[in-house]
Amino acid sequence: MLLPHRIAVTLLLSYPDQRLADGVEKKMRDILGKGEAKWELEILSDRPPMKLSRGNQKLARELKEVADKWEIPLDQESSVWPTIAGLVPETTPVVCGLAPISKQLYTPQEAVQRISILQRTLLLAEFLVH
């Protein structure tokens, strides 16, 4: 077998704070720069994680109350994933990830629980009326 003359790699970096991300990017560039191979590191998107501000936590609690009323599963997870919600000013309450429940994301077997589409719709409608 012949060695490939070109390799394309996609990396996803999640970070809790911008300084850490900048440090990791610098290390990656340093490591890539040591070899003789030609390389290119392109940033396709740079979104910070959503901050857990008081307003965000209050909004999440209110959503959870509505979800509990209708017995809709709703959990809060880490907010280290890059998201558009990370760009929202801290003074504006925001939540992220209210999408339908899914499994095996980013694979050919990715699937969405159909009932969760209805549940999320009911949750948001009830919350907005609330």
Could you give the CA distance from residue 9 to residue 32 in angstroms, rounded to a whole number? Answer: 13
Please report where in the chains the tokens 């280290």 appear, as a residue: 80
pLDDT of residue 92: 94
Closest-CA residue to 43 (of 60, 58, 28) = 28
**103 in any annotated domain:** yes
**95 assigned to some structural domain:** yes
Q: What is the pLDDT, as a whole number, of residue 7? A: 79
What pTM does this model have? 0.69
Number of C-alpha atoms within 13 angstroms, CB side, residue 91?
Answer: 0
Between strands 102-103 and 111-112, the pairing is: antiparallel
Q: Which domain holds residue 65?
A: 54-129
* 87 inside domain: yes
Residues of the chain with pLDDT under 70: 1, 4, 79
Whether residue 7 is contained in a domain is answered as no
Q: Is residue 77 part of a domain?
A: yes
| Digit-coded pLDDT (tens) for 94-113 | 998 888 999 998 899 999 99
What was the pLDDT predicted at 94?
Answer: 93
CATH of the domain at 108: 1.10.150
Q: Give the per-residue pLDDT at 78.
A: 72
Residue 86 within a domain: yes
Number of domains in the chain: 1
Residue 98 within a domain: yes
Q: Does the residue 91 lie in any domain?
A: yes
